[in-house]
Copies of this chain bind each other. A is one copy, B any other.
Amino acid sequence: MNGEAQVRIDLSSPEPAYRQIAGQVRALIVEGALAPGATLPAVRRLAIDLGVHFNTVAEAYRQLAEEGHIDVSHGRVARVVARQVPPAEPEKVAQYQARLRNLLAEARSAGLTREQFRELFEGDEP
């Protein structure tokens, strides 16, 4: 998976590394780039590739496992799981609306126009 360097982290970001890793792997899964059954790199392997401690990667994998995205068990390689997403509760939707709105505001105060931001979204087809 990461021979092509599909995961990149920024240690200077306020976002913790383990959550960046989880977020990017989650994105690959949700977008279908990592299909059900696909194997993930070993935690120690990916850790070396990313230049972090293996515990950091393990933490990311653990979070994905809790969400049901991947299956990790003792002694076995981590694998993507075929998962059915439950329908989103309205409460969740509102929460994401707030988060999207905040992200947009932050982007605009960093100099992006609303149009630029929309293009980021449109140009991101899976």
Give residues in A with beta carbon < 8 Å to B. 8, 10-16, 19-20, 23-24, 26-27, 29-31, 66-67, 69, 71, 73-74, 85-89, 92-93, 95-112, 114, 116-118, 120-121, 124, 126
Closest to A125 in B: B114
Instruction: Chain B residues near A120: list those with CB within 8 A.
Output: 93, 96-97, 100
CB pair B85–A111 under 8 Å, yes or no, is yes
CB pair B97–A110 under 8 Å, yes or no, is no
CB pair B111–A92 under 8 Å, yes or no, is yes
Contact residue among B11, B15, B85, B124 (Cβ-Cβ distance under 8 Å from A97): B124
CB pair B106–A73 under 8 Å, yes or no, is no
